[in-house]
Each structure stands twice: as structure tokens, then as C-alpha cells.
């Protein structure tokens, strides 16, 4: 999640939960059937796979109404075990009509879920996984209006400085089904991407993900702007931006040895501020991230920054930007180190999500630390690339002051639940700890680039990511993942002199926890567990690396 929970964590005041220092072993009470329907792959979701969305919408700024249709192209993953399809669309939005091919299908609502009845029309389903079918869903209503976007999201109806309508959506966590009907689960991205057709007054411009493929008249005083993204895309990333936009473009010769198209859409009155600001940070961000993570994942769809009526989000190939053309986070250094003021936080952080969240996506939002921890660490690596390792170390250590340790980073699965907002700063410090343990930046960079190659565009899990790091590091660091992801305890090293040697053990941690300590920067280190372990005879606790996130 771009800055949503992260901003709350950094501000330290927006969300507090009762914490626990134990592993999450069972699903806590308090989740509803609606949570389970949204968060799990039940039988009404399991047998079909989304291939493509074609979403056509027409918002009305004055009435705050929305009407449209979504053509969902899908195929079968296996023989249907039920006569129903689950389609998600949150109240108060309404489905008006459902067509399978030309056949109208009956449907019934249960809260934020619509059950589409196939019992009389199973013969219309494809007979093979290789054949696609199309479900066309017409919908309308007044979508939830965002209270404080992007944190409390929904549709955004604002005006620019000159009084023109300015609209968009921010819905991560809340879900894309807050405004359009879809299979609202991260595990099923449309394999062939999506198209968005946006009908607006001809005095406004409509921007969306990917590339502009056409513009045409759509009635008296109306135009339809059509955009297409070819890569798989998270539902919450498929977003319209509507306003009095102006546009300019550029290119970057990237790591693929081809030009990456760079496009910028900002309100006309902000053009002169935006041009030098974007020019300064975008290309140096891309050079740093391609160095550390590998090629930008979406050359086919291009890179785009779009000025938004909220702070920012990682909308794939159409990054939402609302940082007021300031350095830092609205002019502040979130680390307190001084190193966060030489660049625009939203440009760097939200663009980092193109690799972590948009390219590497977790199946369940319970594992969202993979998105946010690695993206927070992308800020560290941007600083490292341009300002050096000491600056990067100072920045990431400065983030520790904002860690609450209120609850684990990984939440219960299958109930649409997120872990602690510490997934940002604590997640970044976990990665920095692994980097210190590896003590080999060539290998560390190789693992990051390998992740973006081996987990590309196929939803994954934290468990798979953890196993990948274990294998690539050639070490058993699973106890370290378990400690920092699944508990709220921060390990502390206890040492003593015994028989003329130094012995150490880790306390305030799981019984299985183990992590190495070094006597100098070149040795591999001694792996210390919760039992007293002998380290180098001349070792002192002062030699412990400050890059380990410990007490």
C-alpha cells in the first residue's frame, strides 16, 4: 500500500491496536462472513480465472453518481463445482444487469457480494480451459466518497484552484469493488491486462493506466478517453484521473537497452512547477532502482506520473502524485536523519512499488509487508545509490523511532486483514538486518534482482519469499523471519564472561531464534541462539553491527 498505512505509522497517531508478543497461531475472533467472502478463494471464485477487464465508466461530478459496465473475459481453471459466480461490488453500488454472451443471468445480493446464478445456463460456459467467455456486468450508483484519501479511501470529488472538477479514486485495502464489479482478490490479476474507457465532459481530460489508445466523441459535449494496460494489474491499481490536465513526455534509455517512455500529466496551473521537479527525481530514481532491482517491469505500458487530488498511490504505470512538488514527505524528513530532504518522497516511494506490489504481488493482503517493507527499503537503496552507504544506514536507522511493535506484520489469512502498519519501517529494518547478515552487497543485490525476475507478475506469498531468501543466502534465516514478521518482540543480546571467554545468547525472542554476531566486518560471524554460545575471546558487545535491528 503506497503511503496509506505507512503514513499512519509514521505519524504515530492514526492507528493503534492491542499488541501481542506471541506467534499468530490461530485466527482471532471478530471476523465476519463478509470478511471471509472477500478474503478467501471460495468455490464460487476458484473455478474461473480473469483474463481481461474492459471497464467503461461515466462519472457525474455534480450528482456524484457513477454508471458503467465491466466486460470480464475469463476462462476455466477446472470443472465448476458450483452453479454460482461470486462478483464483488460494495454497497451502495448496484448491479443492474449481467450477461453471459447474449444471455441475461439472474443474480442475488449478499452484502458486498453478488451471486450470479448459472444453473440454467451452464451450457454457455467454455468447454476447455483454452476457450474464453465474457461476463458483462452493468452497474450504477453513488460510490463511497473518500473521507481522507488515500487512508480512508473511495471516490474523490474535488476542484482544482480555478474551480474545475478534479476526480479520482484511492481504494487499496478498501478494495476496487468499492466502485466497480470485479473478482476483488489479489491472487487473480487479469492475465492480459485491462482497458478503461472513461466518458467525461469535453472540457476535461481523462487519464488511466498504460497507454492512450484513442479518444472519440461520446455524445453532445462528451468525450471518451480509452487507455490500455497490457500487463497483469492489481484491481486496486486500475484507476481513472479526471481533470484539466496538461501533458508532456520524455524517454530514458533503460537497462533493457531500449527507450522507456516517460509521461507526465499535471494540472495546467502547476505545469511550470512540475517540469523541473519531475525532471530532477524521476530519471535518477529509475537508474537507482534498475541497478538494484532489475529492469523497470512495465516497459510495454510505460512509466507515468499523474497529479492526484490525494497524497499518492502506486497505481501501476500511472503513479498517483500529490506531494505538492516538495522534497521529503510534504516537506518533512520521516527518518529524522536529514537524508530524507534531498528528494521527493512520493516519487521515490510510490515508484518503488512498481517493483514491489505491482511486479511482485502477494496473494493475500495479510502478507502485505512484502509490498511495503521492500518498497520502504527502496528509499534506502535510492539514498545508497546517490549518496552512499553511510547515508543509507543513517536513514533506515532513523526509521526505527516510528516502529510501534503493536502487533505482528503478518495478519490472519483469508479474511482480508492487514498486518501492523510497522510493515513499512520494521519491514525495511528487517531487510537491512538481512543485508548486514549477508555482508556481501553483490549477493544482496543479486537476490533483489532475482526476486523481481522469479516472482514477476505471478501473485506469491510471504512464505515463498522467505524460502527464496533462505535458498539464495545459503543460510537458515527462517528464525529471523519468524521473529520479526510473526511476533512483536525485538531480540536483545545478553553477554557474559565465562572461563576467560565471552558467551552470548539472544533473549526476548522465540526459542528457535538465532542470528550471527561478528568480531569484525570481514568474518562470517558466530551464530548465537537462545542458549549461551561462545564467541571470539576478544569480542565485546560494542562490535555488534548497528545495522541489526535489535534492542
Cell of 464: 515463498
Q: Do the beta carbons of residue 399 and residue 405 sit within 8 Å?
A: no
Task: Report the top-level CATH class of 4-352.
Answer: mainly beta
Q: Tell me which residue of 283, 325, 320 sits closest to 305, measured CA to CA.
A: 320
Among 17-21, 350-354, 534-538, top mean pLDDT goes to 350-354
At residue 179, the pLDDT reads 98
At residue 520, the pLDDT reads 60
SS (H, E, C) 224-250: EEEEEECCCCCHHHCCCEEECEEEEEE
What backbone torsions phi and psi does residue 279 show, to the nearest 5 degrees? -60, -40
Under 8 Å CB-to-CB from 499, ≥6 apart: which residues?
Answer: none
Asked whether the predicted pLDDT for residue 17 surpasses 70, the reply is: no
Distance in angstroms between the alpha carbons of the first and the last residue of the chain: 28
Asked whether the predicted pLDDT for residue 245 surpasses 70, the reply is: yes
Measured CA to CA, the distance from residue 458 to residue 191 in angstroms comes to 9
Express each pLDDT in 305-350 by its tens digit: 999 999 999 999 999 999 999 999 999 999 999 999 999 999 999 9
- pLDDT band per the 50, 70, 90 thresholds, residue 21: very low
At residue 16, the pLDDT reads 27
Cα angle for residues 513, 361, 465 (degrees, 5° grid): 25
Measured CA to CA, the distance from residue 381 to residue 378 in angstroms comes to 5
- What's the rounded mean pLDDT across residues 354-379? 98
Domain boundaries, the chain: 4-352, 492-543
At residue 549, the pLDDT reads 98
Mean pLDDT, the chain, rounded, equals 93
pTM higher than 0.85, yes or no? yes
Cα dihedral 481, 482, 488, 493 in deg (nearest 10): -70
Rounded to 10°, the helix 425-438/389-398 angle is 140
**Helix, strand, coil tally for the chain in percent (to 5):** 30, 30, 45
Cα dihedral 325, 396, 513, 366 in deg (nearest 10): 0
Express each pLDDT in 501-519 by its tens digit: 889 999 999 999 999 997 6
Torsion-angle region of 191 (φ positive above 0: left; ψ -120 to 50: alpha; else: beta): alpha
- What's the rounded mean pLDDT across residues 145-162? 96
Asked whether the predicted pLDDT for residue 188 surpasses 80, the reply is: yes
Q: Do the beta carbons of residue 425 and residue 490 sit within 8 Å?
A: no
Amino acid at each position: 500500500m503506497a503511503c496509506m498505512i505507512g503514513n499512519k505509522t509514521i505519524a504515530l497517531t492514526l492507528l493503534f491496536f492491542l499488541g501481542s508478543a506471541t506467534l499468530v497461531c490461530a485466527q482471532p475472533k471478530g471476523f465476519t462472513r463478509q470478511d471471509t467472502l472477500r478474503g478467501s478463494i471460495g468455490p464460487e471464485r476458484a473455478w474461473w480465472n480473469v483474463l481481461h477487464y474492459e471497464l467503461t465508466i461515466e462519472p457525474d461530478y455534480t450528482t456524484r453518481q457513477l454508471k458503467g459496465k465491466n466486460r470480464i473475459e475469463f476462462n476455466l481453471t477446472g470443472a465448476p463445482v458450483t452453479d454460482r459466480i461470486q462478483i464483488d461490488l460494495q454497497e451502495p453500488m448496484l448491479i443492474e444487469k449481467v450477461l453471459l454472451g447474449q444471455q441475461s443471468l439472474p443474480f442475488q445480493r449478499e452484502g458486498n457480494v453478488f451471486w450470479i446464478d448459472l444453473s440454467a445456463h451452464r451450457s454457455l460456459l467454455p468447454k476447455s480451459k483454452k476457450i474464453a467467455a465474457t461476463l458483462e456486468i452493468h452497474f450504477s450508483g453513488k460510490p463511497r466518497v473518500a473521507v481522507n484519501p488515500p487512508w480512508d479511501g473511495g471516490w474523490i470529488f474535488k476542484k482544482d484552484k480555478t474551480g474545475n472538477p478534479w476526480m479520482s479514486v484511492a481504494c487499496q485495502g478498501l478494495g476496487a469493488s468499492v466502485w466497480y464489479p470485479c473478482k476483488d482478490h489479489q491472487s487473480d490479476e487479469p492475465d492480459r491486462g485491462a482497458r478503461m474507457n472513461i466518458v467525461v465532459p469535453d472540457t476535461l481530460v481523462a487519464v488511466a493506466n498504460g497507454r492512450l489508445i484513442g479518444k472519440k466523441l461520446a455524445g453532445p459535449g462528451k468525450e471518451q478517453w480509452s487507455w490500455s494496460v497490457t500487463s497483469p494489474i492489481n484491481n486496486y491499481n486500475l484507476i481513472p484521473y479526471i481533470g484539466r490536465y496538461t501533458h508532456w513526455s520524455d524517454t530514458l534509455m533503460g537497462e533493457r537497452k531500449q527507450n522507456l517512455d516517460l509521461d507526465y500529466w499535471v494540472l495546467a496551473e502547476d505545469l511550470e512547477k512540475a517540469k523541473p521537479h519531475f525532471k530532477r527525481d524521476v530519471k535518477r530514481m529509475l537508474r537507482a532502482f534498475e541497478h538494484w532491482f532489475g529492469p523497470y517491469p512495465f516497459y510495454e505500458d510505460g512509466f507515468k506520473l499523474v497529479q492526484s487530488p490525494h497524497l499518492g498511490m502506486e497505481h501501476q504505470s500511472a503513479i498517483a502524485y500529490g506531494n505538492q512538488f516538495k522534497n521529503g514527505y510534504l516537506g518533512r524528513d520521516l527518518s529524522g536523519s536529514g537524508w530524507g530532504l534531498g528528494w521527493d518522497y512520493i516519487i521515490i516511494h510510490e515508484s518503488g512499488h512498481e517493483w514491489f506490489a505491482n511486479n511482485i504481488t502477494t496473494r493475500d493482503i495479510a502478507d502485505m509487508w512484502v509490498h511495503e517493507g521492500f518498497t520502504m527499503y527502496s528509499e534506502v537503496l535510492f539514498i545508497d545509490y546517490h549518496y552512499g552507504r553511510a547515508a543509507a544506514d543513517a536513514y533506515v536507522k532513523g526509521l526505527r523511532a516510528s516502529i510501534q511493535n503493536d502487533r505482528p506484520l503478518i495478519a490472519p489469512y483469508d479474511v482480508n486483514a492487514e498486518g501492523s502498519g510497522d510493515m513499512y519501517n520494521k519491514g525495511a529494518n528487517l531487510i537491512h538486518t538481512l543485508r548486514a547478515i549477508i555482508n556481501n552487497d553483490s549477493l544482496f543485490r543479486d537476490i533483489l534482482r532475482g526476486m523481481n525476475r522469479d516472482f514477476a507478475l505471478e501473485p506469491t506469498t510471504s512464505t515463498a519469499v522467505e524460502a527464496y531468501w533462505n535458498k539464495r543466502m545459503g543460510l537458515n534465516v527462517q528464525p529471523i523471519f519468524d521473529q520479526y514478521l510473526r511476533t512483536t518482540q525485538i531480540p536483545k543480546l545478553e553477554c557474559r564472561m565465562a572461563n576467560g571467554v565471552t558467551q552470548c545468547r539472544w533473549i526476548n525472542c522465540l526459542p528457535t531464534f538465532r542470528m550471527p554476531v561478528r568480531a569484525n566486518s570481514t568474518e562470517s560471524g558466530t551464530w548465537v541462539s537462545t542458549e549461551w554460545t561462545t564467541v571470539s575471546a576478544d569480542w565485546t558487545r560494542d562490535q555488534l553491527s548497528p545495522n541489526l535491528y535489535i534492542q
